[in-house]
Amino acid sequence: MATLVIVESPAKARKIAGLLGAGFVVRASLGHVRDLPGSKAEIPERYRAEPWANLGVNPETFAPIYVVPAGKQATVRELRQLAARADRVLFASDMDREGEAISYHLSRLLGVEQPTRMVFTEITREALQAALRSTRPLDLHLVAAQEARRVIDRLVGYGVSPLLWGSVGGKLSAGRVQSAALMLVAQREMARMRFRPATFWSIRADVLTRPKFTATVTRVRSSEHPQGLPIARSGDYTQDGALKAGVQVLEMTDGQASALSAYLDGREATVTSVDVTETRTRPAPPFITSTLQQAGGRLNLSAKGVMDAAQRLYEGGYITYMRTDSPALSDEALTEARREATRLFGPGAVPAQPRQYATRNPGAQEAHEAIRPAGTSWRAPAATGLSGADLDVYTLIYQRTVASQMTDAVFDRTAVTLTCGAATLGAQGRVLKEAGFRQLLQDDDPKDEQRLPALAAGQRFPLKARPPEGKKTSAPTRFTEATLVQAMEKAGIGRPSTYAQTLATLQTRDYVRLSGRHLAVTAVGLLVATYLARQVPDVTQQGFTATMEAGLDDVAAGKTTRVAYLTRFWTDGLSQTIRRASRDAPNLPLPHLDGTRLRAAGSGPHLVRAGQSVPLPPQVIPADLDDTQASAILQGTWTEKARPARRTGEKTSAGRARSRKTTPP
C-alpha cells in the first residue's frame, strides 16, 4: 500500500483523493477522534474513584482524560488498519490549532511515533503537490494551545454552570467565550431599557433651483445669540434624554418650529458659500473570517450559515481556508485578482501597483492568507456550477477579492451654505466621477446623496418649506449577528473560528432570540448575565477574556507553557472567584418599568411588582414590555398577540399558536 492521507471530512477526502490520484488513500477522521469524557459512562474505570473524575481534568496538574467516543471507535479501527498497511501516513487536518490537535490525537491512536503534517490553505492540485513537497513535523505548541483551550473551557463550564443551576434554575450553561458575548448583548439590552427619548426638530425647505434640492436649517440667530445657535440634533442628547454637558444649542418647541417653517416658506435664500472637494473611497480588504460572517447578513445568512457554506466551498476546492484573520494576499493571488479586474473592466481598472492589506487587530494570527478564490486561475461565479447559498458566498468572496485590487471610487462632494433672514441652511451633495471598484460592487457604498446643481456665492433662490419634522432620539440599537461578531472581535472575545458557534449557542440556550434580524435578550439571558456579573465577573469582563485569548496565543507561539497558562488563569484566578460565589437568586430592576423587577425562581423568571410575583411568559422579551402589558401579566389577563402573517400568506409558528393566558399562582 502507498501513502495514507487523513483529513477531517468525507467531502474533503473525496476531493483530495481525486486530485492526488494513484498511490494515495485518503480517509476522513470525521473531526476529533479523542476528547474529554462527555458523560460518567465514558470515564475510564481507573479514574472513577478520583474526586475530579467528572471534570475529565485533574485541576491540580491539568492532566486531561482523553477517550474515544463511542461514535468514533469504528472510524479509529478502520484508520488503524489502513495505517498498519501504509508505507507512509500524512496527517492533513486543517492548519489551525484544532487541526493540529486532531493530527496529534490520531498519531497517538495509530501508533505513529514521528507524525508528519501535510498542510495547505486551498484544495487544488498545485497546492496539494506543494504541500507534499513541504511536509513538516507536528507543532506541539499548537497542540498545547488547543489542549489549554479545551481544558479551560471544561473547567469554566463545569465550574460556573452549577452555580447557575442553583441560582437561576434549570440546566443552564456558562462558558469562557459565551458568557462574555452574552454580557455584550445584555449590556446593550439594559441600555435600551434605561433609555429616555428626547424630542428635537428638523426644519427643511426645498431650494427651487433647476433641479431643486433640499436644505436643512442648521443655525438660527436671535437678539440673545447674534452669532446664532445650532439647532439641537440627536447627537446633542444623552441616553437619559438630557442635553450633554457643555452643549449650547437651540431646543425648539413645536410652536417655534412651525413659526420658523412658515417664515422660510416663499422667501428667498442667498447662497453664501459653495465648497467642492474631491473625495476617494478605497476598496475594502479581502475577507477574513469575521468580516465574511458580518457580510453574510447581506445574503440573509446567519454567521453559522455563512461558515457552513464556506466550509463546503473550501472542501470543494473553490476557496482558500476560511478560518483566518489576515487580509493579506499572496503574490499569485494579487496577480490573478488584477488579471480578473482587467478582464472585466479593462486595464484602467487597476492601479499601477498591487494593493496589500494588513490587519488592524493586534491579536491577529497572520499565518494564513485572506479568504479568496482557490487556485492561480479563478472561476467566475457563473462558471462554477454552484447554486444557492454556496454560489452566493462564493460570489461575495470572488467580488470582494477582485475589487480589493481595483482603483478608488472618486466623488465630487459639494457643501453649500445659504442664509434666509436669521436662519442658516446647509445642504450636501455628491457626484460619482470615477466608479473604480464600485463597477464590481454596486452596493458596497452608502446610498448616494442628492445631486446639487452648479451654484455660486451671491445667487438667490426662493424656498418652499416642508412641514417641520418632530423627531425623537433613538434607543441603542440591538446587535445583529454581524454587529455582535464585530463587537466580539474588537473586544478580543474569542477567535474567528469560535464566533459562529458562540452565536448559535446563545440562541440554542435561549439566552438571546432573533427579533427580525436583531438579537433580543430573553429573561433567562438577563438573569444569567446579572448573576455572572455579580458573582463571577471575570468571565463576563472583556479585558479578562481578551487576556485569556492572548495567553492562548502565547502558548501557541511557545512563549509560555500550557501548565503556566492554566495555573495563572485557573488556580490563581478564576477557581478562587468561583469558590467565593454565592448562589443567591438574581433580582434585576427593569428600569423602563417603575417599581418592576425580574427575579429568578424555581419555576422560571418571575415578574415582581408591589409584592406580587407571577411567572413571566417565556415568549416575552423583558425590554419589549410596556407598563400596560406588565400589568396584564401581573393580573393574569395577558394574551399573546398573533404575529403578522408572512408575505407568502403563511403564518409563523408563533402566529399559528393559540393565545396563551397567564394566571397568578
Q: Which residues are catalytic?
A: 321
The cell for 116 is 508528519
Identify the residue whose cell numbers are 487580509: 327
The answer to whether 7 and 26 are in contact (CB under 8 A) is yes
d(CA 76, CA 86): 15
Angstrom distance (rounded) from CA 642 to CA 636: 18
Burial 110-131 (b: 16+ CB within 10 A, else e): bebeebbbbbbbbbbeebbeeb
Asked if 263 and 421 count as a contact pair (C-beta separation under 8 A), the reply is yes
Q: Count the neighbouring beta carbons within 10 Å of the beta carbon of residue 246.
A: 5
What is the Cα–Cα distance from 199 to 232, expressed in whole angstroms? 9
Q: Are strands 204-207 and 213-220 parallel, antiparallel or unpaired?
A: antiparallel
CA gap 23, 26 in Å, rounded:
10
Question: How far apart, in whole angstroms, are the C-alpha atoms of residue 652 and residue 606?
Answer: 27
Question: Can you give 513-570 as a three-state secondary structure string?
Answer: EEECCEEEECHHHHHHHHHHHHHCHHHHCHHHHHHHHHHHHHHHCCCCCHHHHHHHHH
With cell 474533503, the residue in question is 12
